[in-house]
Homo-oligomer: A and B are copies of this chain.
Amino acid sequence: MRNAALACRDAALAIAGLSDAGKRDLLMAMAARIEAEAALILAANELDMAQAAHRGLAAAMLDRLRLDGGRIAGIAHSLREVAELADPVGQVTRRETLPNGVVVERVRVPLGVIAMIYEARPNVTVDAAALCLKAGNGVILRGGSEAIHSNRALAGLLRQVLAEADLPVAAVTLVEDLGRETMIELLQLADIVDLAIPRGGEGLIRFVAEHARVPVIKHYKGVCHLYVDQAADLDLALDLLIDGKVSRPSACNALETLLVHRGVAASFLPRAAAALARHKVAVRGCEETRKLLPGIEAASAADFAAEFLDLIIAVRIVGDLDAAIAHIREYGSDHTEVIATADADAARRFVSALRSAVVMVNASSRFSDGGELGLGAEIGISTTRLHAYGPMGIEALTIERYVLHGQGQVRHGNVVAPVDPPG
């Protein structure tokens, strides 16, 4: 693993040196190659699907693993979208001339080597590689064992295109030894790997966080809240509730808990319950909610901490805005929180009191997504309050460094023997 990672680091230097046009052409050629070799990819994917069926994988997992012509076209389309993203590398984010005449620039550079750790989703192989390359990085891909044939086929095609462009193929390195020891070794290459991004279930992410000695950006789960304030437009709140809960319940930006101000609970909750019932959403409520909505299940503390990823919602009536904030601080996951209110002061207090990566006033939690927020493709969502917080696009795969241009300026005009204390 160490030698493969070192090769990726060297290869990353070549990618870092490419122009925007060079990276664009590279990714365009990769998209074309994937379309041209669809039959090869589908044959590899069939092997994975057959093994997965044999091993009795759940239907949802089989669906994520499966490729078909439409999905391969989608992968190529995503590649072309990433190819066309504005290149962050070389961007001068600030420029200042010091009193002594030295020009100080902050310039975006690639991170270096990024390790992607993910589950049985072959499309991540290409999406992640494309974003890492476009940002000038090398990538080490460690996907789930269920997708190994598909991943090998896809990564092999990307590497073909690298080789044909006279670029080192190690810039896209697929880990083929899927043993735990190898993954742990990868996560501990602190002098080589600049960042690990785990994507998948909470178990995978905790494993990565536990074993990593390289920096990790992650989110464990999205327990997203909608708080319907006393001053909310209740029609608007209902729209946010239904969109947030049912438009894609399996997404991390779906709503999991509804908090309702006591002053509007009697008018809002029966309407909300009826709408949720039409969408087959099961409601679990606090005691007070259950008085307004007889027949629903009781919500436990575990329900309020749960990321259901399903057509289930926990509901709690709160006495005021502060109680809503306290609930979110206790049960939230720092992902995305929404307030529905027409009261600008309540909105301001809600936003400033909560530390979550994305906080919204009168908009659906489902906008908490790199594509929706205009970042282009998304490499992940961070609830780590460092480097990137919230949806992460291509810029999160770069870092600003300092470039100084002088004409011979020195710090101490007349240098004599050193007099400062050490340190």
Contact A385 to B399, CB < 8 A, known contacts A364-B411, A411-B367: yes
Tell whether, in the assembled complex, residue B215 and residue A404 are in contact, meaning their CB atoms are under 8 Å apart: no
Tell whether, in the assembled complex, residue B385 and residue A63 are in contact, meaning their CB atoms are under 8 Å apart: no
Q: Which residues of B contact A390 (CB under 8 A)?
A: 401-402
Question: Which of A39-47, A151-159, A178-186, A234-242 makes up part of the contact surface?
Answer: A234-242
Contact of A243 among B407, B415, B420 (CB under 8 A): B415
Tell whether, in the assembled complex, residue A420 and residue B250 are in contact, meaning their CB atoms are under 8 Å apart: yes
Determine if A300 is an interface residue (Cβ-Cβ < 8 Å).
no
Question: Which of A261-269, A285-293, A355-363 makes up part of the contact surface?
Answer: A355-363
**Interface residue total, chain A, C-beta cutoff 8 A:** 89
Tell whether, in the assembled complex, residue B417 and residue A399 are in contact, meaning their CB atoms are under 8 Å apart: no
Tell whether, in the assembled complex, residue A422 and residue B311 are in contact, meaning their CB atoms are under 8 Å apart: no
Determine if A366 is an interface residue (Cβ-Cβ < 8 Å).
yes
Question: Which of A27-35, A104-112, A126-134, A313-321 makes up part of the contact surface?
Answer: A104-112
Q: Write the chain B residue with the least CB distance to A60.
A: B422
Q: Tell me how far the C-beta of A368 lies from the nearest C-beta in chain B, rounded to whole angstroms.
A: 7
CA distance A280 to B416 in the complex (A): 10
Tell whether, in the assembled complex, residue A411 and residue B243 are in contact, meaning their CB atoms are under 8 Å apart: yes
Interface readout for A379-413 with B: 1 if CB under 8 Å, 0 if not? Answer: 00000111111110000000111111111111110
Q: Which residues of B contact A102 (CB under 8 A)?
A: 363, 367
Interface readout for A226-251 with B: 1 if CB under 8 Å, 0 if not? Answer: 00000001011001101110111111
Determine if A295 is an interface residue (Cβ-Cβ < 8 Å).
no
Q: Tell me how far the C-beta of A233 lies from the nearest C-beta in chain B, rounded to whole angstroms.
A: 7
Q: How many copies altogether?
A: 2
Tell whether, in the assembled complex, residue A63 and residue B408 are in contact, meaning their CB atoms are under 8 Å apart: no
Determine if A203 is an interface residue (Cβ-Cβ < 8 Å).
no
Q: Which residues of B contact A405 (CB under 8 A)?
A: 347, 360-363
Q: Which residues of B contact A244 (CB under 8 A)?
A: 410
Q: Which residues of B contact A273 (CB under 8 A)?
A: none
Q: Which residues of B contact A351 (CB under 8 A)?
A: 403
Contact A389 to B408, CB < 8 A, known contacts A64-B421, A423-B121: no
CA distance A418 to B372 in the complex (A): 19
Q: Which residues of B contact A3 (CB under 8 A)?
A: none
Q: Which residues of B contact A79 (CB under 8 A)?
A: none
Tell whether, in the assembled complex, residue B251 and residue A423 are in contact, meaning their CB atoms are under 8 Å apart: yes
Tell whether, in the assembled complex, residue A374 and residue B411 are in contact, meaning their CB atoms are under 8 Å apart: no
Contact A311 to B402, CB < 8 A, known contacts A367-B409, A367-B411: no
Determine if A209 is an interface residue (Cβ-Cβ < 8 Å).
yes
CA distance A298 to B361 in the complex (A): 67
Q: Write the chain B residue with the least CB distance to A359.
A: B403
Q: Write the chain B residue with the least CB distance to A400.
A: B389
List which A255-310 residues lie within 8 A (CB) of chain B.
279-280, 309
CA distance A361 to B190 in the complex (A): 30
Interface readout for A327-368 with B: 1 if CB under 8 Å, 0 if not? Answer: 000000000000000000001000111011111111110111
Q: Write the chain B residue with the least CB distance to A215.
A: B386
Tell whether, in the assembled complex, residue B190 and residue A417 are in contact, meaning their CB atoms are under 8 Å apart: no
CA distance A216 to B214 in the complex (A): 10
Q: Which residues of B contact A373 (CB under 8 A)?
A: 98, 104, 402
Contacts A243-B410, A362-B408, A364-B409 supplied; 8 other A-B pairs, CB < 8 Å? A60-B421, A60-B422, A96-B374, A109-B355, A236-B407, A309-B422, A362-B406, A388-B399
Q: Provide a sorted-by-A list of 28 A–B residue pairs whose CB atoms are within 8 angstroms.
A: A13-B355, A17-B352, A60-B421, A60-B423, A64-B422, A104-B373, A111-B386, A210-B213, A215-B215, A215-B384, A242-B415, A243-B415, A246-B418, A249-B418, A250-B422, A279-B415, A279-B417, A311-B418, A351-B403, A357-B402, A359-B404, A362-B406, A362-B409, A364-B406, A364-B409, A364-B410, A366-B410, A385-B399
Across the A-B interface, give the 3 residue pairs with the lowest CB-CB distance, nearest first: A363-B406, A243-B410, A250-B422
